[in-house]
Amino acid sequence: MKPVIYGLSGLTLTPEERSFFGEADPAGYILFKRNIADRAQVRALTDNLRALSGRNDLPILIDQEGGRVARMGPPEWPAFPAGPAFDALYETAPISAIEAARANAQAIALMLAEVGITVDCLPLLDVSQPDTTEAISTRALGSEPMRVAAMGRAIIEGLRDGGVVGVVKHMPGHGRAKVDTHYHLPTVTASDAELEIDLAPFKALAGAPMGMTSHIIFQAWDPERPATLSPIVIEDVIRRRIGFDGLLMTDDIDMKALTGSAGDKAAGAIAAGCDLVLDCWGRMDEMEDIAERLGEISATSLGRLERAMATIVGTQPRGEMADLIAKRDALLALV
């Protein structure tokens, strides 16, 4: 098995993809809007991916946060609110906000599980600042670390109850980035002491099954390399200081915050200590380059992957989507 999660080009596997994936045996896959039409199509696609891999616990990922980041949406599926809606409720009714976040995540998970998606890249544990890039601020759970942690924990629990594994992101924190990593490489100049605020939610949820890195330079820790490619940030900050021993994947290595070939970036991330590389765009030349540069997944990383997926394998998703959405909406109406 290669330590990589690949994207796909379209609604079905092409013959070329089927051949390549069968040989490369990636750890998992991630779906985007280009891969999604309706329930029957998505279920057929995920069933085909499982059959190709021969693994019932195959991680099939999606970014289904709500708001601006939603790969599945109307009219086939309902729209979901983003993090700031729950943060606003927390101002007046903290317990209600936590329960609304939990119900919302469980409803999302039921929607995903129905079509065979097993991992949702949620929750964001990034602590917002006044100048946080809009790419994060419009999605984040707020600017108070323990509030972010409380709602983040509820989201992970809600996803699990609905049959889906959650991913905490973007470690060790994206809230101080002033530019969007899809297009630029941010440099954070905050001191080590100041960055304790950013680490706090991740420390509180250090037992999460999966996590995702950020493509950000933190001058206090490693002024030369973004977190995704920094053994200092991954080993000293994420693994030791935060205490995270779950499966750690990169954010999409195709983002413009990183430079170099796909193979170079993938090999660098694994060498730095990431367990898996996330390569989202389904470009065959880049996927082949990555496969050529990466060896087999390490025993340690495979163990983390298996432990993460074991949190949902063999469990029955609980709840009714309509009831959970109604509960969420009643709570959000308290604002």
Please identify every residue annotated as catalytic: 182, 251
Strand segments, DSSP code E, in the chain are 2-7, 26-31, 60-62, 64-66, 69-70, 119-120, 165-171, 187-188, 210-213, 217-218, 247-249, 277-279
Question: Would residue 217 be called left, alpha or beta, if left means φ above 0 and alpha means ψ between -120 and 50 degrees?
Answer: beta
Least Cα distance to 122 among 89, 82, 90, 92 occurs for 82
Rounded Cα distance between 335 and 332, Å, is 6
Give me the residues paired with residue 217 across strands.
Answer: 187
Strand 187-188 to strand 2-7: parallel, antiparallel, or no bridges (unpaired)?
Answer: unpaired
Instruction: Specify which residues 124 forms β-bridges with.
Output: 169
The torsion angle over the Cα atoms of residues 26, 30, 33 and 39, rounded to 10 degrees, is 90
Name residue 197's amino acid.
I
104 Cβ contact partners less than 8 Å away, ≥ 6 residues apart: 66, 80, 81, 86, 155, 158, 324, 325, 328
Q: Distance (Å, rounded) from C-alpha 36 to C-alpha 43?
A: 10
SS3 218: strand
Omega prior to 186 cis, within 30 of 0: no
| Cis bond upstream, residue 130 (ω within 30) | no
Nearest in space to 172 (alpha carbons), one of 117, 224, 237, 122: 237
CA distance 253 to 265: 7
